[in-house]
Amino acid sequence: MTPLRQKLIDEIQLRGFSPHTQDSYVRSVAGLARFYHRPPDQIGDEDIKAYLLHLLRDQKLACSSLIVAVSALRFFYGQVLHRATAAIERALPRMKKPVCRPRVYSVQELERFFQCPQINRRHRALFMTMYAGGLRVSEACQLRVENLPSDRHQIRVVAGKGKKDRYTLLSPRLLEELRAYWRLYRPQHGWLFPSTLFPDRPLTREAVERAFTEAVARAGLPERGGPHCLRHSFATHLLEAGVDPLTLQRLLGHSRLATTTTYLHVRQERLAQVSSALDLIDFGRARRSDSSTP
């Protein structure tokens, strides 16, 4: 490992960023160095800008991925190399984040999904846990058996996003499913969902994403953005059931209520009660008026 890479990792760890963020930032800086075949501290502002345009135009990188790359390079040149702020702003302007509405499954679609006989019990228990507790993929992977105090009907999320602990829901139906899963698989080493290849380690994010893609296809459901849509569906369905946004904010572990309220746009029972403005027009009255005009 080069001293420059180690310095970047040290700065990331000192700020308490997650391992996922560390990997993303290191990959982004390494990608820039590989593109120009020289160390990143020898790359100028115009070259950095040209590299970002390459990612956007030639690599067709998604906007969200490009935002991560910009954030990583801003951090590297600002916090590691201490390049002047004005130079960083010129080469790496802050990108406007697109407003992406959460994509969700309906209750009927999830009924089909969870009852699909082609999905094995292990994966079904995992996906039901993510949906029932509104968990992120990384949070589900890191669950340990002691994080599920069944007498309190709660799931304890340890060091979730932002290294925050929280409690969310452990429904009786989920507890029944997890007990059946436990009797069948007997997971070891304390992990609720251990890796199949390395039982002493938790399941990886990549393994969950692959399993979810296969399960959605087997259930005959449309793709709606990967396993994270189970968390979106949890939030939307609870709002539809009348749970107030403040309670939902705590269950989801959001720092800001504004993040939670993004789910309000899909409350179907409210949308069903709203008429289109076009329906307010009485076309018959307009025709009657025209026919009576001499």
When pLDDT is averaged across residues 208-223 and rounded to a whole number, the result is: 96
Q: What percent of the chain has pLDDT over 70?
A: 89
38 is catalytic: no
213 touches 223 (CB < 8 A)? yes
When pLDDT is averaged across residues 201-228 and rounded to a whole number, the result is: 95
256 is catalytic: no
Question: Which one-letter amino acid corresponds to residue 104?
Answer: V
Question: 20-34, 80-94, 118-132 — which is least confidently predicted?
Answer: 80-94
136 is catalytic: yes
CATH of the domain spanning 3-91: 1.10.150.130
Residues 6+ apart with CB under 8 A from 40: 4, 29, 32, 33, 76
pLDDT given at position 205: 92
| DSSP element (H, E) containing 169 | strand 166-169
When pLDDT is averaged across residues 9-17 and rounded to a whole number, the result is: 92
161, 205, 218, 224: which one is catalytic?
161
pLDDT given at position 89: 87
| Of 59, 57, 18, residue with least CA distance to 164 | 18
Q: Cα–Cα distances in Å, from 195 out to 27, 130, 139, 189? A: 24, 17, 15, 11
pLDDT given at position 266: 56
Q: Give CA 52 to chain center in angstroms.
A: 24
Half-sphere exposure (Cβ direction) of 290: Cα atoms closer than 13 Å: 6
On the 0-12 / 13-18 / 19+ scale of CB atoms within 10 A, 144 is: middle
| DSSP element (H, E) containing 90 | helix 85-91
Q: Which residue has the higher pLDDT, 120 or 1?
A: 120
When pLDDT is averaged across residues 67-71 and rounded to a whole number, the result is: 93
Q: How confident is the model at residue 276 (pLDDT cuts 50, 70, 90)?
A: low
Strands 154-157 and 166-169: antiparallel
User: Is residue 262's pLDDT more than 90?
Assistant: no
User: Is residue 226's pLDDT more than 60?
Assistant: yes
8 touches 29 (CB < 8 A)? yes
CATH of the domain spanning 107-272: 1.10.443.10
Q: Where are the domains of the chain?
A: 3-91, 107-272
User: Is residue 267's pLDDT more than 60?
Assistant: no
Question: Which one-letter amino acid corresponds to residue 212?
Answer: F
pLDDT in tens, 38-63: 999 999 999 999 999 999 999 988 88
74, 124, 231, 232: which one is catalytic?
231
On the 0-12 / 13-18 / 19+ scale of CB atoms within 10 A, 240 is: middle
74, 123, 136, 237: which one is catalytic?
136
User: Is residue 216's pLDDT more than 80?
Assistant: yes
Give the span between the Cα atoms of 203 and 206, in whole angstroms. Answer: 9
pLDDT in tens, 71-84: 999 999 999 999 99
The encoded tokens of residue 55 equal 């990612």
Q: Note the pTM of the prediction, 2 decimals.
A: 0.73
124, 228, 232, 237: which one is catalytic?
228
148 touches 170 (CB < 8 A)? yes
231 is catalytic: yes
Over the range 104-117, which residues count as b (16 or more CB within 10 Å of their CB) and which as e? bbeeebbeebbeee
